[in-house]
Structures are given as structure tokens and as C-alpha cells.
Structure 1
């Protein structure tokens, strides 16, 4: 009997040893057991905002007696790759939301996207339990321009303006949880007047044509047909519940040689216009870069464009392909412009809309013309016209009246106008109705723009007496010194 009992006891011992060995084999000996408790985070919101960056972030744990605690975090539960969040000499760790936001981004977390992080405290060979929470960081660093490279050179090609001159590229966060708009700008080195060359959303490159880059570079004051130091930068803008964050890249300086573009002039003539068929009195459109435009009176009838205030040498007309001159043509036209009378290559254009003031726009870019006639903006038949501005004050109730001369022409009494004076024209003695100012350019002879598309007229001349003449039908004004 004793031998039987001994045999049973020995079998039990072997079985226990086998189970123990099996448990040891299954245990993850690379992750030690928690030996003290880390309490949950004081983070009030899992979504971080820039306005929270100075707010405190506090962790506490129940272990005392150690003089060296290290707070670590990981994006995986096993802490296979861990990053130090900070250290402490007591059982409390305090930092800021801005600090942990930066460290989360450095670990590769995406801004505006929810990420899971694991945090624990280490004290020598001992560790705390891990706490986990979701966190959505905000971006703090701007893009990094990678092309063009600093010191590189670029000669723009005037022969092929539609071709890509360069592609601006940049690095940024691997991804965003919201849309990010990138604005690409250039400026002449030494100035702060940046000009846009394009904007994209959620991509990190922008192809720029010879034309667009040339226009922007020239507008920064660059010298034509000579290498200029040009700064390029990229601005990233994101918007979330916490507001908008705008982050700019450092500038990269490269050399650009722009070219001169000689765009043609356009003169409106014809029965549809206020000028009639008198070429000498044709209406010269305001030209700025590739765009020529004017607000002018049109009525249902025929018209055409001239290249000068004469019938020769350039005379634009319409054929089956569009509006044609001897060397260039309008590729597209407005729906309210059709072919008029004539044969072969001498057809007039015909305006079919209702009579009124229209914005006429011609795009002369790339050697291909397009004509746009906007919808009616205001009636030209204004019975009265008034002057408001710095000459007598901006109070519309005391605006100075003009004398109507008929056919949309108004003339002021002699006025003493000091240098630098600014003013506008009103169709009534208040600011709630018709308003006329200068489109784009300032000057003593200019082009009128109606409500919403005008600037103050800025007088540039001596302190003398002038008569101001306004021609609403032609869309022009002029100051004549007495």
C-alpha cells in the first residue's frame, strides 16, 4: 500500500512540474509584470487644439522612494518601440499639452487624426501598468520646399507659355485628418510682396506654366530678360473645430529669368457701342497683362475690335472658327455674341443681349483670344451724377452734382483738386445705389467700374482747377486742367 501511495504522489509531482513548465513557456518574459499603479491621465479632451498648448498635462502614480522615474509612451501595446515623454523625481509628472503634442507628432502621429497611445512609468527594473487613450494632435510645423532647390536657375520660355516651367514640391506630415490647402507664392528676394502662383488641396506639388510664373515674377518687380533672385514659399492652412492654423515654409531662393510679353491693344467700334463706326473715336479697352476689359454700353447690333484707333492695320472679325484677325483669333466667344453680316473673312460680330452696361473682357493669352460679355450690371441711363470724396468730404448727402450733357456724359463745375485727392462718382446722394470708381489702375484718365468692382480714383497732379468729365456709356472719365 505504501508503494502505491508513493507512486501516486510521485505522479502528482511530475504533473505539477509539467503544468508549471507549461505556464512558464506561455508567459511573456519580455514584459515584466506591473509593480505599481499609474493613475489615469488628467487630459480633459482627447482632441488637442493650439489654444490648449499652455494647459498642464499631469500623471501620478502610487510608487514612492525612487529618485528616477521615466514616463514613456508607445503606439503599440507591447511597447516594442517606446519614446520618452519625460522624467520625474517624485511620483508626479507635469508638462504641457503643447509638449506632448510635439512629441506625439515626432513619433509619426498624424495631425487632426485620432491615434491610440500607451503610456507607462518605469523605475529601474520596475514598471507601472499601462494606460491608453486616443489623442488627436494639431500641426505645428510648416511644409519644407524640396523643389526648386536653392541656387538653381530657370529661364522661362516665351515660345511655349502653356508648357510647365517648373514643378514646386514640398514635404509635410504624412497625412492629415482634415483638408489642407497649400498656397504657393514667389517674391523678389529682399521684398515681402509675395505673389500667388497657385493653390492646391491635399497634394504636395504644383506644376506652374511659363506664363503663370512669368506673370508672378514680373509683378514682383523682377528685371526682364535677366536672372533675378526669387524666393518661393508654401503656406499650409488647416481648419478644425479649434480654428484655423496657418504654417509657412522657410523660403527657398532660386534664379528666374522672365521674358517680356507684348500684348495687343483692343478698341471697340460699331453700332452696338457708344462709339458708332468712327474708328478715331473707338473705345480703348483697359489693358493689364493679358486681360483687356471695360464696362461699356452695348445695344443689340453689330460691332468689331480694332488693334488701334484706325481701321488699319489690325482689324478683328468673325469667321467659322471664331473671331479672327490676320494673325490671331478668338477661340471662344460669349453666348450673346454671334456672327453678323458680311462674307468671307470680314464678318462683324453681333451683340444679341438687352441694351445696358456690360463688362467686356478679352483674354489675349497664349496668342489665342477669347471674348466674354458679362450679364447686365447697371442701366447707363442715370439722370444724375455726384462726386463724393476727400475734396469736399465722403458724406454722400453733400456730394457735389455734375451737369448732364446727354448721351451718358456728365461734367463737373470747375473744381480745385489737391494732389493726392481721392473720390468716386455716385448715381444718387447716398451709398446705397449706383457707385462708380476706377477699375484696377489709378490715374487722371481712367476706366470706370460699378459697385463691387472699383477702387477710389486717386488724383495725381498739382493743386489746380480741373473739370471732370464722366462718360458712363463709354466707361471712361478724365480730368482736364483749366
Structure 2
């Protein structure tokens, strides 16, 4: 009997050793015994945010007892390190990197932005590994939205017969799934333009449907030409807030082609102020051909008479039937009681017209009138902009002002050609003669030294 047990023991022992080795190998694969020490580290803040990107993040460890080659610092979202990413390599027992690199590695490892989660770190060299260090951390998104529609180089032809129908849906990928409020702004610009025009905003969504009319208005503002395929740039800006502050991320720009249609239409206003010549009359404009036309006319005399024509000829016209009412191809002349620039609004739906005093001027220490009086601008009905062909400016500041009053004024906080109501004075750093333009509709301005 003893011999039988001895024989069985001899037969089972190799199997037990093999199985023990296999279990040991499996254990080492998932959580090997450390062969050198990684020292605990602390973050300046367990909530990371973009202003910390350049801050240093340093790890130290003891040298491994054996082995050769570089150390590799790896990071995982789980303690078993089954899915690990490389944080960095080092030929010494120290790794110096940045919070920005740490944040990107943690995102790559599967930690989600805006939520506190545990990150696990260890050091490897060959078959040797350090102990594991873990810490709770809240990451922030490192990349901006990625536009998936329209595709770069694609084409879009707008349908003027269905202005309210959806022309296209702008789509992008981003981090709305992480439970934080994100506001997305979709903008477009001309191929060579730096000024972007808004298409719309959405919250916690990854798409924006844009109608034919909205897209048409935007691309025409951006410099596209009606009935011509024009290159248009589009971008998406994501804005969100966390404990660490406001985070703004901008997508890469995608360029595609859009063919707009001529949405706007015009009426013409011949009158005594310009010698009753339809060919040179001021044009008044309807931006969306909705029957309401607006323009600006400088009447040089009180009670100046005029008509409104659908074309630059006398074939047809609108006349007055008394008060502010108009009629087609009959009635008397319309009358502007006051002198100076008047805003003329013609409503072909209600068949009425209205006149309101309306003028833009430049005021400021750099202007000829200083801060005491405006230098009046002239409305160019061809470009639909207010302008001064030549004005002598000194070193100082200017602003744009409506009706010689501070109730409505515009400045430029960034001095970059975009205007905001009540914004900062616009600096003039070099004296000289300038041409100034003011686009009231798009709130843009230019100065050109002559």
C-alpha cells in the first residue's frame, strides 16, 4: 500500500507543479508581484482643467534590481492593467511630463471627462514591474468636436423654391454623453475670410438642421455669389463649465461648396433729392424678399417728393393715397417732411411706407469733431454699407454712433473688425486719411489708409 501511495504521489507531483506554475503565470499576467517601488504622487488638484496643461507631473521610483532598457510608465482605468496606455518612457528612475499629457493618457485609457474616477499607474521594464499607485481624478475633454457632416469637398445646392425646408444637417461627434451641459455654436465663413457668421446654437446635441433660407443668408454674408458654387468653411465650438472653470473647444474647419440663390430683392426711389432719375436712384432692400424693404436716403430739402419703383425705369411705380398709404401705378408723390438722412421702410404687404430720422456718424478723440460732434457717414445703397470716403484721423479713439446720440453706439473690444453695442473705444494708432465702412447688418467695420 505504501508503494502505491508513493507511486501516486510521484505521478501527481509534476501535474501539481505544472498547475501551480500556470496559476503563478496567470497571476503575474494580471497582477504580478512588484520588483521595485513606485512612490506615491499627489496632484495639485484632483480636478484637472485646461489652464493646468503645462503644469508638471513627476513620478519617481527605485531602480529595478535587474534588467536593462528604458522604463515605461503605464496607466489604466482598472487595477488589473488589462487595458493600459503608455504615459511616457524614461532612461532614469524619474518621469517628468505634464498635466496635459496625463489628462490625454487618462482619456485614452477610458476615463470620462467631468466625473471623478480612479486612475492606476505603474512602471514596467522588461518582465519587471513596480507596485501600483492609484488616485481619484476628474479629467477634462482634450479635443474639440469633430464634424462628420458635411464632408470636406462635398457640394450643397440650395433650393430657393423651398426656403423653409432643411437644406442640410450639420453633425459632429463630441462629449455630450458625459452628463455635463455643453453649448455648441455652428459658424461659417468664406474660404478666405476670417470673420465667421453664426448658423445657430444647440445644447447637449450633436446636430443642427439648417433651412435653405438660413444657409442662403449666411453664405451670402460670408461672400458667396448667387448661383455660383463657392467654398465655405464651417466650424463647431463647444463651451462647457466644470469645477475648474469654462472650457472652450473648437473643431477643425471643414470646407465644402455651397451654391446660394439670390434671396434679396430691391426697390428704387427716384425723387427731387437726386433729380428724379431712376437709373441713379437710391435702392432699398428686402433681405429675404418678404415684401418689406428698407433703405436710407439723404433728403436735402424739407417736403421733398419721391416715388418708389420696382425697376430702374418709369414703367411702374408706387404712389401715395394720403397718410402713409401707397398704391400701385396711381396716386401722388410721396413726401419726406424733414431734411437729412431718413430710414425709408416700404411694406408691400400692408401697402404702407414710413420715414424716420436715421444717421450714423463717427465720434471720438481721433475724429475731426473730437468727442463733441459726429462726422456723418453716407449710405452706399450698392454695397448696403455706411461709409466715409475720406476722413482725417489723428492718434486717439473713435466709436460709431446713431443719430448723434449715445443711446446706440458701437465699439470693438478686440479691435478686429467686429462691433458690439456699447463695446470699447476703437484705437487709432496712426494719424492719416482713412476710408471707413460700417456694415450695420453684420456689425462689421473697416478702415483703409489712403
**TM-score, length basis structure 1:** 0.55
- The equivalent residue for 1:50 is 50
Q: How many residues align?
A: 323
1:218-265 CA deviation, whole Å, 9 max, x = no partner? 111111112112122222233334443333222222221111124577
SS in 1 for 2:319: coil
For residues 31-110 of structure 1, the aligned pairs below 5 Å read 31-66=31-66, 67-68=68-69, 69-110=71-112
Q: Distance in 2 between matches of 1:363 and 1:106?
A: 60
1:310 corresponds, among 304, 316, 319, to: 319
Where do 1:161-240 residues align within 5 Å? 161-173=163-175, 175-176=177-178, 178-240=180-242
Specify the alignment match of 1:289 in structure 2: 287
State how far apart, in whole Å, the 2-side matches of 1:435 and 1:84 are: 60
CA distance in 2, matches of 1:436, 1:81: 60
Distance 2:406 2:248 in 1: 38
Q: Output the CA distance in 2 between the equivalents of 1:86 and 1:388.
A: 58
Q: Could you say if the C-alpha distance between residues 239 and 437 of structure 1 is closer, same or farther in structure 2, counting changes exceeding 3 Å? A: closer
Q: Is the 8 A contact 2:122 2:131 kept in 1?
A: yes
What's the secondary structure of 1:197's corresponding residue? strand
Counterpart residue number, 2:155: 153
Give the structure 1 partner of residue 370 of structure 2: 394
Q: Quick one: distance in 1 between partners of 2:363 and 2:61?
A: 73
> Unpaired segments of 5 or more residues in structure 1?
1-5, 268-283, 296-305, 318-324, 327-359, 372-379, 381-385, 401-416, 428-432, 439-450, 457-462, 464-482
Query: SS of the counterpart of 1:110?
Result: coil
What is the CA–CA distance in structure 2 between the aligned matches of 1:107 and 1:292, rounded to whole Å? Answer: 59
Instruction: State the distance in 1 between where 2:362 and 2:59 align.
Output: 69
Measure how far apart 1:42 and its partner are.
3.3
CA distance in 2 between counterparts of 1:35 and 1:64 reads 7
1:137 positional shift: 2.2
Is 1:134 the counterpart of 2:136? The answer is yes
TM-score (ref. length: structure 2)? 0.58
Deviation at 1:418, TM superposition (A): 8.8
Correspondent of 1:250 among 242, 252, 260 = 252
> In 2, are the aligned partners of 1:117 and 1:132 still within 8 Å (CA)?
yes
CA RMSD for the aligned pairs?
4.8
Maintained 8 Å contact 1:388/1:424: yes
Name the stretch that deviates more: 85-94 or 199-208.
85-94
Inter-partner Cα distance in structure 2 for 1:256 and 1:81: 45
Partner Cα distance (2:325, 2:111) in 1: 61
Larger gyration radius, structure 1 or structure 2: 1
On the 8 A contact 1:64/1:90 being kept in 2, the answer is no
Unaligned runs of 5+ in 2: 270-281, 297-308, 311-316, 329-342, 375-387, 393-397, 411-420, 427-432, 434-450
Change (3 A) 1:113 1:230: same
Q: Distance in 2 between matches of 1:70 and 1:387?
A: 64
Alpha-carbon offset, residue 167 of structure 1: 0.7
What does 1:269-418 correspond to in 2, within 5 Å? 287=285, 289-290=287-288, 310-311=319-320, 392-396=368-372, 399=373
